[in-house]
């Protein structure tokens, strides 16, 4: 186990409890829409980055246990929440779309279960004091209204799948049970553009031919609308893929400099996600990848140091 100094451990655990509170408190999340007091995360991206990136929890709960700032019992109590939050994709729309999403409600419920579970198992008086303090300041966490919907996977840094949507991928077995529109949305970005153009051209041609014969067929109009929409989605996805590739290539070119800068940001207790944004990394998935990869490098470095 890697031992961190008491002051760093205290700081990290305080940020962890605050982050968990923000996941478990829907009234606080409504401040994303504006009007909230200073001091807490005020967007979905900041909330996710504050938990997974700043705390290096994208490397898994076991990494936190090995580093010495989280106990195994606390990790066990929070692993259902951790896995659900890790699976939740970055929303394409406004904050309202997250707050109204039933899948997000599941994350909130799991965070509530984690909050009360940690309160039961922790043996750290400062953690209990921090939980009481933040509830006194911002409001009490309500107990979860339903039990866990699934049995969490075994505790492992690789147990939770990567967060965020994987553009152009889909589960073949699940796809067979989706409707046609959902199947089209699982196509790769280029395929979406091609299929969209084909539908658009085919719908226009059919509409012209049928119009000349005095007919109007709904499916031809539907093909036009579907073609326009699918082409637009495909173009958006292509731009996103290119942005990911460009930022990833840039990160690899300046990796050593980036690693030193991120480590310095961590030591100063600053927000790593905001630092990366200020450095020009605007894509959420790239920022998450950078922090996770640097965290794994640090763990590997510690392991080699102990082996010597």
Nearest to 271 by CA among 61, 4, 52: 52
In order, the DSSP letters of 86-155 are: HHPPPPSS-HHHHHT-HHHHHHHHHHHHHHHHHHHH---HHHHHHHHHHHHHH-PPPPPSS--SSPPPPS
> Is residue 252 a part of any domain in this protein?
no
Per-residue pLDDT tens over the stretch 108-152: 999 999 999 999 999 899 999 999 999 998 899 988 876 655 444
Distance CA 230, CA 163 (A): 24
Task: State which residues form the domain around 153.
Answer: 6-166
Identify which has the larger pLDDT, 77 or 265: 77
pLDDT of 165 reads 35
Please state, for a pLDDT cut of 90, what percent of the chain lies above it. 24
Identify which has the larger pLDDT, 224 or 263: 263
Q: Are 99 and 26 in contact (CB under 8 A)?
A: yes
pLDDT of 95 reads 80
pLDDT of 170 reads 39
pLDDT of 175 reads 36
Average pLDDT over residues 82-97: 82
Average pLDDT over residues 87-105: 82
Average pLDDT over residues 254-267: 85
- Dihedral of CA atoms 161, 24, 27, 286 in degrees, nearest 10, equals -30
Identify which has the larger pLDDT, 122 or 3: 122
Distance CA 163, CA 62 (A): 17
In order, the DSSP letters of 67-100 are: HTSS-HHHHHHHHHHHHHHHHPPPPSS-HHHHHT
pLDDT of 185 reads 56
Distance CA 271, CA 51 (A): 11
Per-residue pLDDT tens over the stretch 268-296: 777 777 788 888 888 877 887 787 777 66
> Is residue 266 a part of any domain in this protein?
no
Reported as type and span, the H/E element at residue 225 is: helix 218-253
Nearest to 23 by CA among 50, 4, 47, 56: 47
Nearest to 20 by CA among 119, 164, 146: 119
Q: Are 303 and 62 in contact (CB under 8 A)?
A: no
pLDDT of 208 reads 66
Taking CA atoms, 194 is separated from 185, 186, 227, 233, 239, in Å, by: 13, 14, 9, 11, 15
> Is residue 224 a part of any domain in this protein?
no
pLDDT of 36 reads 62
Rank 32-36, 100-104, 141-145 by mean pLDDT and report only the highest. Answer: 100-104
pLDDT-based confidence at residue 160 (cuts at 50, 70, 90) = very low
- Structurally, the chain folds into a number of domains equal to 1
> Is residue 307 a part of any domain in this protein?
no
Per-residue pLDDT tens over the stretch 74-83: 999 999 999 9
Q: Are 20 and 78 in contact (CB under 8 A)?
A: yes
Identify which has the larger pLDDT, 6 or 164: 6
pLDDT-based confidence at residue 157 (cuts at 50, 70, 90) = very low
Nearest to 273 by CA among 65, 88, 44, 71: 44
pLDDT of 54 reads 84
Q: How far is CA 111 from the centre of its chain?
A: 14
**15-29, 165-179, 231-245: lowest mean pLDDT where?**
165-179
> Is residue 228 a part of any domain in this protein?
no
Per-residue pLDDT tens over the stretch 191-228: 767 776 776 677 677 666 666 665 656 666 666 677 77
> Is residue 206 a part of any domain in this protein?
no
> Is residue 120 a part of any domain in this protein?
yes
pLDDT at 261 over 80: yes
pLDDT at 166 over 60: no
Radius of gyration from C-alpha coordinates of the chain: 23
Reported as type and span, the H/E element at residue 247 is: helix 218-253
């Amino acid at each position: 186990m890697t031992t961190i100094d008491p002051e760093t451990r205290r700081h990290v655990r305080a940020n962890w409890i605050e982050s968990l509170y923000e996941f478990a408190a829907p009234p606080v999340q409504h401040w994303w829409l504006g009007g909230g007091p200073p001091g807490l995360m005020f967007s979905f991206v900041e909330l996710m980055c504050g938990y997974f990136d700043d705390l290096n929890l994208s490397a898994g709960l076991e990494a936190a246990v090995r580093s010495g700032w989280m106990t195994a019992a606390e990790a066990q109590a929070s692993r259902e929440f951790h896995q659900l939050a890790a699976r939740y994709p970055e929303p394409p729309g406004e904050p309202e779309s997250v707050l109204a999403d039933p899948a997000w409600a599941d994350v909130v419920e799991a965070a509530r279960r984690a909050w009360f579970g940690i309160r039961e198992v922790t043996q750290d008086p400062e953690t209990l004091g921090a939980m009481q303090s933040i509830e006194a300041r911002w409001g009490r966490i309500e107990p979860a209204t339903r039990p866990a919907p699934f049995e969490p996977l075994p505790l492992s840094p690789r147990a939770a799948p990567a967060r965020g949507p994987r553009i152009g991928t889909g589960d073949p077995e699940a796809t067979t049970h989706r409707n046609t529109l959902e199947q089209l949305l699982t196509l790769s970005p280029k395929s979406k553009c091609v299929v969209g153009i084909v539908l658009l051209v085919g719908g226009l041609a059919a509409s012209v031919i049928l119009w000349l014969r005095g007919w109007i067929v709904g499916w031809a109009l539907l093909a036009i609308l579907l073609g326009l929409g699918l082409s637009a989605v495909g173009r958006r996805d292509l731009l996103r893929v290119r942005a990911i590739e460009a930022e990833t290539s840039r990160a690899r070119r300046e990796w050593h400099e980036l690693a030193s800068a991120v480590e310095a940001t961590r030591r100063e207790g600053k927000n790593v996600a905001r630092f990366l944004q200020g450095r020009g990394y605007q894509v959420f998935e790239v920022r998450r990848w950078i922090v996770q990869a640097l965290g794994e490098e640090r763990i590997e470095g510690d392991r080699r140091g102990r082996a010597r």
